[in-house]
């Protein structure tokens, strides 16, 4: 969870307009100031709802649900936005060596995630069951095709094997936040925040000329902060083991699954990433959580414009060379 820290009101214009709505299985908030900020925020919300309706796997009528329903069968038509999101997601799967794999759905279901009530009623899956589920997890078997036809482009998507399942949880909040930010920019808004749960996209500054201040959630102290960072024209996302988890046989089982081992990731508490856009920070925060502090830091140091703060077992703190705030209180 990431929280925004800013003054609720000012003595004179310009004034920050703040609106929130339930969406993306969280409360989405937009804060902005400038000409027509109120109407533009509503337009941005409408765009978020439209794009989310294409990706939402809880909606049987979404593009991604159609792909999942037809896994192993015929390709299904896709909107331009769904094609864009999935192609970018596959790119992140590739550069992380499969530490991020958006076809992780069968493993999430196996471990009791991907539904409103998380957990396992019976025993944990054995090695054979995990191996069978892993056989249906491979981002390379997502087929995304764009075909020019009579001056238009036909876009289709397909999963190669029956039982495969795309999960959008690692990138959809960031992608939808980016689409809202695009609306704000298009309408001339130069200063805004878009907050979608653990992802915050920042544009410009606050009315007093200072940067937006964003708090990074403490993974073990509810309502507490690890640190506060300044954001301008960039985004941050946090993935943690504290929001969607259960305990079984004395072990904490988080919803972040390592697609390579088939197991919930152990020994990690949270990862926060700063990147140029919301989808990048969102996808990387999940990937680095899987990779762990050593491999994760090597990866983030190799990516231009990305910084990371990693909290591993026992509250061990690691941060990249360019992480903006070194004062971290665990």
Give per-residue pLDDT as tens, 293-328. Answer: 999 999 999 999 999 999 999 999 999 999 998 889
Terminal C-alpha separation, the chain: 15
Give 88-112 pLDDT, tens digit per residue: 999 999 999 999 999 999 999 999 9
- Quote the pLDDT of residue 11: 47
| pLDDT band at residue 1 under the 50/70/90 scheme | low
Give the residue extent of every domain in the chain: 2-57+170-319, 63-159
- Residue 192 pairs in a beta bridge with 32, 203
Residue-wise pLDDT for 47-83, tens only, equals 999 999 999 999 999 999 999 999 999 999 999 999 9
Question: Within 10 Å of residue 208's Cβ, how many Cβ atoms?
Answer: 9
The CATH T-level fold of domain 63-159 is T-fold (1.10.3980)
Cα separation values, 228 from 25, 103, 211, Å: 25, 34, 12
Looking at every residue in the chain, the average pLDDT score rounds to: 94
- What backbone phi and psi angles, to 5 degrees, belong to 245? -155, 170
- What's the rounded mean pLDDT across residues 281-292? 98
Pairwise CA distance, residues 100 & 84, whole Å: 17
Please give the pLDDT value at position 9. 44
Q: What letter would DSSP give residue 281?
A: H
The pLDDT-based confidence of 251 (bands split at 50, 70, 90) is confident
CA–CA gap between residue 151 and residue 131 (Å, rounded): 45
Q: Can you give the pTM of this predicted structure?
A: 0.93
How many residues would you count in the chain? 330
Please answer whether residues 98 and 139 qualify as being in contact, where contact means their C-beta atoms are separated by less than 8 angstroms: yes
Would you list the DSSP string of 207-224?
TTSPPEEEEEEPSSSTT-
CB atoms within 10 A of CB 189: 23
Range of weakest confidence among 194-203, 241-250, 282-291:
241-250
Q: Tell whether domain 2-57+170-319 is in CATH 3.10.520.10.
A: yes
pLDDT at 12: 55
């Amino acid at each position: 969870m990431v929280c925004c820290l800013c003054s609720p009101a000012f003595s004179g214009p310009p004034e920050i307009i703040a609106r929130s709505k339930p969406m993306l299985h969280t409360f989405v908030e937009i804060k902005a100031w400038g000409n027509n900020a109120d109407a533009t925020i509503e337009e941005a919300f409408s765009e978020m709802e439209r794009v989310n309706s294409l990706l939402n796997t809880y909606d049987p009528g979404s593009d991604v649900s159609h792909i999942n329903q037809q896994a192993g069968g015929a390709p299904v038509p896709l909107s331009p936005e769904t094609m864009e999101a999935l192609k970018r997601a596959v790119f992140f799967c590739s550069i992380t060596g499969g530490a991020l794999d958006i076809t992780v759905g069968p493993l999430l279901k196996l471990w009791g995630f991907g539904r409103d009530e998380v957990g396992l009623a019976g025993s944990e899956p054995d090695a054979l069951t995990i191996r069978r589920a892993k056989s249906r997890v491979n981002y390379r078997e997502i087929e995304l095709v764009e075909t020019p036809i009579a001056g238009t482009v036909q876009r289709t998507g397909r999963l190669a094997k029956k039982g495969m399942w795309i999960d959008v949880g690692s990138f959809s909040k960031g992608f939808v936040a980016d689409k809202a930010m695009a609306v704000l920019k298009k309408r001339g808004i130069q200063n805004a925040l878009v907050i979608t749960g653990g992802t915050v996209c920042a544009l410009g500054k606050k009315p007093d000329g200072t940067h937006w201040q964003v708090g990074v959630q403490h993974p073990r102290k509810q309502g507490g902060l690890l640190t506060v960072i300044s954001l301008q024209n960039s985004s941050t996302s946090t993935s943690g083991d504290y929001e969607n988890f259960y305990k079984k046989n004395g072990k904490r089982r988080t919803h972040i699954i390592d697609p390579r081992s088939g197991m919930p990731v152990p020994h990690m508490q949270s990862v926060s990433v700063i990147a140029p856009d919301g989808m990048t920070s969102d996808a990387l925060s999940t990937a680095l959580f899987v990779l762990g502090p050593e491999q994760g830091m090597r990866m983030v140091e190799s990516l231009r414009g990305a910084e990371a703060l990693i909290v591993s077992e026992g509250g061990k703190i690691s941060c990249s060379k360019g992480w903006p705030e070194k004062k971290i209180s665990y």
